Structure 1
Amino acid sequence: MRITRAVYLNRLIARMGNGMIKVITGARRCGKTFLLFDLFEEYLRNHGVANSQIIEVPLDDFAYEQYRDPARLAQYLSSAITDDRQYYVLLDEVQYAISDKELRGDEPPRLYSVLNGLLRKRNVDVYVTGSNSKMLSTDVMTEFRGRGDEIRVRPLSFSEFMQAYDGDVPHGWAEYVVFGGMPLTVSMHTDEQKTRYLESLFTETYLKDIVARNHLRKSQELDELVDVLASSIGALTNPAKIKATFDSVAHSKISVNTIAQYIEYLEEAFVVEEARRFNVKGRKYIGSPKKYYFEDIGLRNARLGFRQVEQTHIMENIVYNELRMRGYNVDVGVVEKRGQNNGESYRKQLEIDFVANLGSERYYIQSAYQLPTEEKVAQEKASLLGVDDGFKKIVLVRDVVKPMRDDRGILTMSVYDFLLNAESLSF
C-alpha cells in the first residue's frame, strides 16, 4: 500500500509560491525524494502543471553528475525555463553540488548563487532536499536572510506505518517498536532483511557520512558515543557524564569538548535530537543535563544489536518523535516541590516527560507505559499536579483504555489513540 505522507505534502502545498526556497531536510532514506519527486509531482500534475514546467535534478544520480558543478547547473536550469509560465525546480540532495572546501567553510558555496538567481525569477518556485541540517537549515537560512523555508521530514510515524502494515494495531506496535519507521523496511518480508538493512544503513551510510563530512581521523570514539546515547534514551545526560563513562569503561582520553562536538555532528545528520530541561514555574531553561532521542527507533535498536528493546523508554522516544512530527517544540519539564517532612523542610524536583508548545498551545505529557497500581498512578501524576496553569495535562499508557479525565482534569489515554488520531490532543 502507498503511504501518503499527508502531513509533509500539505506543508509543501501550503508553501507553494511563497517566494522562498523550500528546504526539505531529514535523515538519509527517510523519504524526502519520494515526497518531492512522487507525491508532490503527482499533486502538481493533478492540478494542471505540465511535465515541461517541472524541472527535476536528482544530484545523487550519476546521470546528473555534470550538474554538481553549480555553473553547469545554472546553465541547465536557465535553458529549461523558456517562457513566462510557472516553473517548479526540484533539486534533490544538493550537498552533492557543494565542494569539500565549501563544506569546510573555506569558500562560500557557489550553489547559493544559483539559488539566489532562481529567487529573482518571479515564475520559478524552488524546492531543494538535503541530508545535513547545518549545511541546509542553518546556512541557507542565513544566506537568504529569511527567504529559506524549512520542511523537516522524519521517518514514518506510527500512523503512517500502519497505512502499510497488514495486521492489527497491537501487532503493528510490536513491529514498530523493534524495527521503527524507515520507509524501506515496510516492504521487507523477514526480520533478517530488516535487521541487516538497518545495521548497514547506520554503519555504512550515517556514520561514514559523518566521518567523511567532518574529516574525522578516528571513528572508534564516535562509534562508542553512539552506543552510549543509544543505551540511555530518555535519561538525563551531558558531555561530562558521558566522559565519565568513557573514562571508566573504555579507558578513553576523549575530551568533553570532543564529545559535545560529536553529538552536534549526530544532530546535524539527523541521527539524534536533544530535548532541553525547562523549569515550568520559573519559566526558564536549565542548561544541563539534557535528554537525547533517536530520530528512528529501529536504527537505535539496530545499533545495539536489538538487545535493549526496553518498552518504557522506546515508547517515550516514539511519543517525542510524534510531537516533533506534529510541529511542537518539545522540552523536558521540571517542577520544584517544597514541603515539610517530620518537621524538616525539603525541596525536590519532579519531572514532566514532555512540555509541548506550538504557538499559544501547550500540553504537559507523561509517557507512563503502564499504571498497574494506585501508587504508580500517583507517581506519574505528581509532577502534573505541581503545575498550576490551565494547560491540558495528559498521561499516556500502552494499554487500550477509553480516554478519561480524573477529578483534577488530568486526561489518561492510550498511546494508540494518541498516535493514530491527529486530533488526539484535543480530546
Structure 2
Amino acid sequence: MQKEIFKTLIKDGQADIQDVELYQRSFDFEPQGRYVLVGIRQAGKSYLLYQRAKQFLKEGHDIKEIVYINFDDERLLGMKAEDFDLILQAYSTMYNYKPILFFDEIQNVEGWEHFARRLANHKYMVFITGSNAKMLSRDIATTLGARYFDEKVFPYSFNEYLEANNVILEKDWLYGKQKNQVGQYFAEYFKWGGFPELLLYRNKRHWLNGLYDKIVLGDIIQRNNIKNDHALRLAVKRLAENIMQPTAYNRLANMVKSAGVSTNTSSIIEYVQYVKEACLMFTLDNYASKFAEKETSKKHYFTDNGLLSVFLTENYAPLLENLCAITLYKQYNKDAGTPRLYYYNRNVEVDFFVPDECVAIQASYSINDHETRRRETTALVALNKLYPLKKALVVTYDEEEVIEMDGLTIEVVPVWKWLLCDSNTDKC
C-alpha cells in the first residue's frame, strides 16, 4: 500500500463532503464523542458521517482537517492493519492540522479496532462505520475500552421517510388533506421499506434485489468462506416465508433438506448467526421459554421491510408484523445489554411483549374476521391475567377502535398512525 493512494483518497473524500446534499437525520452526536456506527448496508451510515463532517465545517473547522476514507474503495483491496498508519503519514505530508477522521466500512480491514484504540489514546476525533454487528461484540468493545460510543443505524423510520420526501406534518394533520398524502407514502414505505437511496429509483424491487445479493454474497458468503451457499440462501428464504412463526433451528434445517439441499442443524445455526452479523435480520426470544429453548427457537425478522418484500408477493400480513418488530426493536433492544423486547408463547401467543413496561402488542393486518378478532384479543386478555398489562394494543393496517374485554382496555390502531403518534412526537 502506497502513501500516494491515501493522499488521493483524502482529497477525494474532502470533495465528496463539500459536494454532498443531505437530508439531516435526527441523530445527536456528543460534541466530544467518538463513534462506531453499525448497521445494514445502505442504511445511511455514510451520510451520518457526512452530516457530522458538515457540522464540524459549520462550527468553523477547515475542510483540510477532514479525512474521509471508504474502505469499500477498490483501491484499498488487500489492505492490512499495518497499513493504517500510512493514512496519518500521508496526511502529515499534506497539512499541518490534527485531522478529524471518518472511516467508512472499516470492518473490511481485519484488526481495525487496534488502530482505532491508538487513535483514541492520542486524542483524535474519530468516526467509524461498519456493516457487521461483530463490531459491537464484547471482544472489540474490550479492545476499544469505552473510548467510543457505539450506535446501531437503521434505514429511515416512517417519520424520516416523510421528511425525506419533503412532507412536514402540520398540527392536526390527521384531520386535513395531509392524511391522504401520508396514506399514499405509507403504502410505499410499508412495501418497499426505508433505505434512503431507494427514494431515487422507480424500479424498487430491482434495487432491493441487487442490495440483497450484495449483502448475501459479499457480507455473508465471501466474508465467512461459506461453501454451501445454496443452503444459506434457502434458509433465509424459508425464514422469510415463516416470518410470523417461531422457527427452531432443527426445523429450519429440515425445511432446507426437504428441498433436496444437504445441510445440518449446526450449519444452519452458523448461517443464521452470519445473517445477523450482516445486520440483515434480528431475532426475538420467547419470554416464556427456558434458557435452552430461547437459544433454539426464536422469531426472525428482517431489518427492513423492503428486504422481506424481495421474497413476498401479495401477502401483506408478514410485512405488518415485520414493521412492528423493527419499530419495537429500535425502541427496546437497540442498545447493547439485556433484551427488553420478547414474544410470548406458552398456552397463549402474543407477538410482542415488553415485561418491564407491562406492554403487549399484537400485529394483525385486519381483525374484521370474527375468528381473528377473537384470537388476537383473547390472547392479550390471557397474558394480562399472567402479567397485568399497562398497555395492550392490536396494530392493524387501517382499522381503529377501543375494545373493553374482561377488565382490559385494548386499543386497535392503524400502523401508520402508531408509527407517527407513538414515536415520542407531538404531531398527532
Q: TM-score range by the shorter chain?
A: 0.7 to 0.9
Query: Paired residue for 2:84?
Result: 73
**1:22–1:148 contact (8 Å) kept in structure 2:** yes
**AA paired with 1:243?**
A
Amino acid at match of 2:388: D
Quickly say closer, same or farther: Cα 1:375–1:218, change in 2 above 3 A.
Answer: closer
**Deviation of 1:284 (Å):** 11
Give the residue type in structure 2 aligned to 1:394. L
Tell me if the contact between 2:366 and 2:397 (Cα under 8 Å) persists in the aligned partners.
Answer: yes
Aligned match of 2:263: 254
1:133-185: CA deviation from partner (whole Å, max 9, x where unpaired):
12454542132244443211112222222223477222222222322222221
Percent identity, aligned pairs only, is 23
Q: Deviations over 1:198-246 (max 9, x none)?
A: 1122123433431111111231111211211111112111111112212
8 Å Cα contact 1:312-1:368 kept in structure 2: yes
1:90 aligns with 2:102: yes
**1:33 aligned onto 2:42:** no
Structure 2 residue 172 is the aligned partner of structure 1 residue 159: no
Residue type at the aligned position of 1:371: I
- Counterpart residue identity of residue 114, structure 1: F
Contact 1:364/1:393, CA 8 A, preserved across alignment: yes
User: Are 2:198 and 1:185 aligned?
Assistant: yes
Aligned to 1:222: 232
Say if 2:21 is the partner of 1:46. Answer: no
Contact 1:350/1:383 (8 A) holds in 2 = yes
Does the Cα contact within 8 Å between 1:155 and 1:181 map onto a contact in 2?
Answer: yes
Residue in 1 that maps onto 2:25:
5
For normalisation by structure 1, the TM-score amounts to 0.79
- The residue type paired with residue 381 of structure 1 is T
Identify the residue that residue 245 of structure 1 maps to in structure 2. Answer: 255
The one of 282, 300, 306 aligned to 1:298? 306
Change (3 A) 1:255 1:160: same
Q: Is 1:272 equivalent to 2:277 in the alignment?
A: no
Deviation at 1:373, TM superposition (A): 5.1
Greater strand content? 1
Aligned equivalents of 1:50 and 1:185: distance in 2? 32
Query: How many residues matched?
Result: 383
Name 1:363's counterpart in structure 2: 359
Contiguous gaps of at least 5 residues in structure 1? 99-108, 337-348
Extract unaligned runs of 5+ from structure 2: 1-20, 168-179, 334-338
Matched, 1:140 2:140: yes
Deviation at 1:94, TM superposition (A): 0.5
Question: Are 2:121 and 1:120 aligned?
Answer: yes
1:17 paired with 2:36, answer: no
Separation of aligned partners in 2, 1:418 and 1:32: 26
Alpha carbons 1:67, 1:73 under 8 Å: kept: no
Q: Is the 8 A contact 1:335 1:351 kept in 2?
A: yes
**Paired residue for 2:220, among 173, 198, 210?**
210
Please point out which of 330, 334, 354 is paired with 2:344. Answer: 334
Counterpart residue identity of residue 314, structure 1 = L
Distance in 2 separating the partners of 1:73 and 1:240 = 43
1:233 aligns with 2:243: yes
Q: How far apart are the structure 1 equivalents of 2:247 and 2:74?
A: 42
SS at match of 1:277: coil
Partner SS, residue 348 of structure 2: strand
Change (3 A) 1:330 1:207: farther
Structure 2 counterpart of 1:5, one-letter code = R
The two structures, once aligned, show a CA RMSD in angstroms of 3.2
Matched residue SS, 1:383: helix
